[in-house]
């Protein structure tokens, strides 16, 4: 069963470089843009956060809310959330295959490309859908980097 997913993208996110662009049009994913006076009631949604408990089987059945932006702009999207989301993280041992290069900001070591985070979060929620990675150039490298317990 597909995990219902909402993606809120920062308006400055470059769609040409966005790892989620190939997923537009999928029926279980709703894409929104966090601009203007947009607010989103995240009550009951899993929202990924670095310092939260790791997603577990107990979270299965909950919808997922993914904030698609750079680390530097993440607080601006977080401010658009209302309600009481359920904050969860991904396992620390997972590393991105995306070649990140930021001259202005340091990304967290456990930071993933948006599509990597989406795939892994949904996998941990019981929806192991490899087709989420089909349009991702670094798919094979990412899957190879996953710890054996997550393959």
Give SS3 for 68. Answer: strand
**How does pLDDT run along the chain (151 residues), one tens digit per residue?**
789 999 999 998 878 778 899 999 999 999 999 999 999 999 999 999 988 999 998 999 999 999 998 878 899 999 999 999 999 999 988 888 766 555 555 555 567 889 999 999 999 999 999 999 999 999 999 999 998 888 8
Handedness of CA 99, 105, 109, 114 (dihedral sign): negative
**pLDDT of amino acid 111:** 73
* Contact indicator for 68, 20 with CB cutoff of 8 Å: yes
Q: How far apart are CA 45 and CA 13, in angstroms?
A: 22
What residue segments make up the domains of the chain, in order of their start?
5-150
Q: How far apart are CA 10 and CA 119, in angstroms?
A: 20
């Amino acid at each position: 069963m597909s995990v219902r997913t909402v993606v809120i993208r920062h308006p400055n996110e470059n769609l040409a470089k966005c790892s989620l662009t190939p997923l537009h049009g999928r029926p279980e994913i709703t894409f929104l843009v966090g601009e203007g006076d947009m607010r989103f009631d995240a009550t009951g949604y899993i929202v990924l956060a670095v310092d939260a408990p790791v997603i577990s089987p107990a979270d299965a059945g909950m919808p997922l809310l993914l904030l698609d932006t750079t680390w530097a702009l993440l607080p601006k999207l977080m401010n658009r959330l209302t309600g009481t989301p359920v904050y969860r993280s991904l396992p620390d041992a997972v590393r991105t295959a995306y070649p990140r290069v930021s001259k202005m900001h340091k990304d967290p070591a456990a930071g993933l490309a948006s599509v990597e985070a989406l795939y892994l979060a949904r996998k941990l929620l019981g929806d192991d859908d490899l087709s989420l990675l089909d349009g991702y150039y670094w798919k094979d490298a990412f899957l190879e980097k996953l710890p054996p317990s997550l393959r």
